[in-house]
Amino acid sequence: QLQLVESGGGLVQPGGSLRLSCAASGFSLDAYAMGWFRQAPGKEREGISCISSGTATTYYTAPAKGRFTVSRDNAKNMVFLQMNSLKSEDTAVYYCVRWPGRICVSMADYTDLEVWGRGTLVTVSS
């Protein structure tokens, strides 16, 4: 019953913007920190951003800081990732993920995260 479905990926030019959406079902989004990971071709999966429940405090890793914005709409059970000033290095499959609790824990280790979307591909190219 727990499910996350990403959408909004596609091909964009460097410097462009894209907004990813994540639709959650089977649970109440309000009770969980939510966020995004990505995996580029041939690279390890890496954390991008997290937004806590309650105060909706946001966190970003270095690649996303200053360019990406994570947000949530609990009433709609959705999470978003607004990506601006995109670079070729941002090309990856982006995954929506649910944290086990209300607080954003370290994004360095994703092995304890159990609820993932299938991913949406973002390609940044001229």
Residue 48: per-residue pLDDT: 97
Torsion of CA 34, 3, 18, 74, to 10 degrees: -50
The tens digit of pLDDT for each residue in 15-58 reads 999 999 999 999 999 999 999 999 999 999 999 999 999 999 99
Reply yes or no on whether the pLDDT at 106 is more than 90. no
Question: What's the mean pLDDT when you consider all of the chain?
Answer: 96
How open is the CA angle 19-21-22, to the nearest 5 degrees? 155
How far apart, in whole angstroms, are the C-alpha atoms of residue 109 and residue 112? 7
The tens digit of pLDDT for each residue in 62-92 reads 999 999 999 999 999 999 999 999 999 999 9
Burial class (CB in 10 A: 0-12, 13-18, 19+), 1: exposed
Closest CA to 52 of 28, 36, 76, 30: 30
